[in-house]
Amino acid sequence: MDIEQEIEIIKRGAVDLISENELRDKLKKAKSEKRPLRIKLGLDPTAPDLHLGHTVVLQKLKQFQDLGHTAIFLIGDFTGMIGDPTGRIEARPALTKEELLQNAETYKEQVFKILDPDKTEIRFNSEWMESMSAADMIRLCAKYTMARIMEREDFKNRYTNNLPISIHEFLYPLVQGYDSVALKADVELGGHDQIFNLFVGRDLQKAYGQESQVLVTVPLLEGTDGVNKMSKSYGNYVGIDESPDIMFGKLMSISDELMLKYYVLLSDITMDAFKTLNDDLKNGKIHPRDAKVNFAKEMITRFHGGAEAEAACMNFEKIHREKEIPDDVEVVRLKKENDTVWIPKLLLDMGMVTSTSEGKRMIGQGGVSVAPIDAGSMIKITSESMAADKVDGEIFKVGKRKFKKVVFEDKQS
């Protein structure tokens, strides 16, 4: 493959590429020296529970890997083991070595569904940071100015608003940047929101006499609602460990527009194939529903396997066809509160009725039904209470046209 084609693949869906010329030079040099480029991706050492949003950058890393380069998966265990000694940043509790190793195992298990283990280096920054002395730390700090650090929005805002910043918080980005020096990274990947930290690595490599790494950032993935970034707290996520049926339902519920974004950022299809898909959608050669089915199958195949993807698709179609349910049923995620669910409250929480009295009235009038997979048609609900097990993952219908699917939190079947 020629270098311009490689660059096109690397640019796919990326927000920043700093800079294209430097990337071109590195690719040329790598080719002439017959060595792969070293691609760094730094990860939080806390236990992962990955959703598709996290996999965007992994997908970018995989593209590099497919081009023959070396993926380096860097786990920031050094800072993880220190935690936040001020106790102010809640997201940074100190972790033990054992917890960190266990988190690393969980990571591997999940990310090797995307990456090729044989072409992936798993590294820990404690390898070089644990033996670093205070004197070396001071020397490292000498390579960076306060003005540059204060370009980071959160620092600037906190300083301007007189909110406390501990000095050690300045050291963490420097440690992360030094990781690029230690790893001799050619390219660093990250979310667009991490751009400042990636720049630190670039600057420090230069200060330590290395060639600066190229930066590639990817966008934050929107959740299934198409509004907010995908996040557990918004309930708009597709977890990579969720069951095939739930994944399928969620992915079928997204808008046509969002589907195209997901294709660019998550699918393995080539950009040429993507252009053809786009044309076919415009010409009506392919129905958006079928494009969504293909995409959902690709994701489920990636995380569960091909047979599971086919089965999920068949289940989905059976239920929806037999029971005349539309494909894009919204999935609502709720906390499971009891083993028995009071349906009028459930319908209220799902936003299908405006009060529990309306819910009670609708049940009394035979206007609420549910679609279990083993029944040939929708089943009318006659009782106001149901076992939580029977509710979880089911599609509810209220009146003639309102359909919503409920999933209880943390169900990983």
- The footprint of its own copies on residues 304-323 (CB under 8 A) is none
User: What are the angstrom distances between the C-alpha of 225 and each of 113, 189, 237, 255?
Assistant: 25, 26, 9, 8
Count other Cβ atoms within 10 Å, centred on residue 369: 18
Cβ atoms of 127 and 100 within 8 Å: the answer is: no
For the purposes of burial, counting CB atoms within 10 Å of the CB of 109, is it exposed (0-12), middle (13-18) or buried (19 or more)? exposed
Q: Is 91 in the site for its own copies (CB under 8 A)?
A: no
108 or 143: CB nearest its own copies: 143
- The footprint of its own copies on residues 225-264 (CB under 8 A) is none
Residue 166 C-beta: closest distance to its own copies, Å: 5
Residue 156 C-beta: closest distance to its own copies, Å: 11
Single out the residue of 8, 116, 121, 136 in contact with its own copies (rule: CB under 8 A): 136
Single out the residue of 129, 214, 299, 300 in contact with its own copies (rule: CB under 8 A): 129
State yes or no: cis peptide before 231, omega within 30 of 0. Answer: no
- The footprint of its own copies on residues 50-79 (CB under 8 A) is 78-79
- The footprint of its own copies on residues 163-182 (CB under 8 A) is 164-168, 170-172, 174-175
Q: Is 81 in the site for its own copies (CB under 8 A)?
A: yes
Sort residue 284 into left (φ over 0), alpha (ψ -120 to 50) or beta: left
66 or 84: CB nearest its own copies: 84
Single out the residue of 141, 273, 375, 387 in contact with its own copies (rule: CB under 8 A): 141
Q: Is 93 in the site for its own copies (CB under 8 A)?
A: no
Residue 158 C-beta: closest distance to its own copies, Å: 9
Single out the residue of 2, 33, 90, 146 in contact with its own copies (rule: CB under 8 A): 146
- Token duo for residue 333: 């995620």
- Token duo for residue 330: 């919204």
Q: Is 132 in the site for its own copies (CB under 8 A)?
A: yes
Q: Is 412 in the site for its own copies (CB under 8 A)?
A: no
Q: How far apart are CA 258 and CA 68, in angstroms?
A: 30
Helix extents (H) in 323-376: 343-349, 356-364
Q: Is 15 in the site for its own copies (CB under 8 A)?
A: no
3 or 165: CB nearest its own copies: 165
Q: How far apart are CA 117 and CA 107, in angstroms?
A: 12
Q: Is 162 in the site for its own copies (CB under 8 A)?
A: yes
Compute how many residues bind its own copies; rule: CB under 8 A. Answer: 38
Close Cβ partners of 313 (under 8 Å, ≥ 6 residues apart): 248, 293, 296, 297
Q: Is 85 in the site for its own copies (CB under 8 A)?
A: yes
Close Cβ partners of 135 (under 8 Å, ≥ 6 residues apart): none
Q: Is 154 in the site for its own copies (CB under 8 A)?
A: no
Q: Is 86 in the site for its own copies (CB under 8 A)?
A: yes
Q: Which amino acid is at 163?
A: L
Q: How far apart are CA 293 and CA 312, in angstroms?
A: 10
**Site residues, its own copies (CB under 8 A):** 78-79, 81-82, 84-86, 129-130, 132-147, 149, 159, 162, 164-168, 170-172, 174-175
